[in-house]
Amino acid sequence: MQSSINRDGFLPPDPDELIEEGELPFADAASDQADNSLTALQREVRLLSARIGVLREDAEAALKAKATSIDANAHVQLGDYPWLKLAAATSAAFIAARILRSLPFGALLAGYTSHFAETRRR
C-alpha cells in the first residue's frame, strides 16, 4: 500500500483546500488552463482584427460613394467643369470685396445725404 506521506515526511495538502485558496491542485492543470485562455484570447484578437478590417472596408466604400454622389451633384448644378466655375465665382467675390474696400465710402455717403435731404424737402 502506498503511503500518502511525501519524501519530506509531511502529508500532501488536500486538493480541495488548494482550490479554495486559489491554487490548482496540479501544475499541469494550471498550464493547460493558461494555454486554453491564451488560445481563446488569440482567437478573440483575430476575430476583432477581422471585424475592424470589415469596418474599414465599409467606411472606405461609403466615403467613395459619398464623394461620387457629391461630384455628380456638382456636375448637375454647375454643368461641365464645376470646380473651375466654383473657383471663378470665389475669385470674383474676392475681387469685388477688394474693390468695395478701396472705395471712399465717406465721400459717397456725403453725396447721398445731400441727395436724401433734397428728396425729403419735396
Model confidence, pTM: 0.41
Q: Nearest Cα to 57, choosing from 47, 68, 46, 65?
A: 65
Give tens-digit pLDDT for 7-52.
Answer: 666 666 665 665 555 555 555 666 778 888 899 999 999 999 999 9
Give tens-digit pLDDT for 90-120.
Answer: 999 999 999 988 888 777 777 788 877 777 7
* CB atoms closer than 10 angstroms to residue 15: 12
Give the separation between CA 55 and CA 50, rounded to whole angstroms.
Answer: 9
Give the separation between CA 19 and CA 105, rounded to whole angstroms.
Answer: 92
Show the cell assigned to 119: 428728396
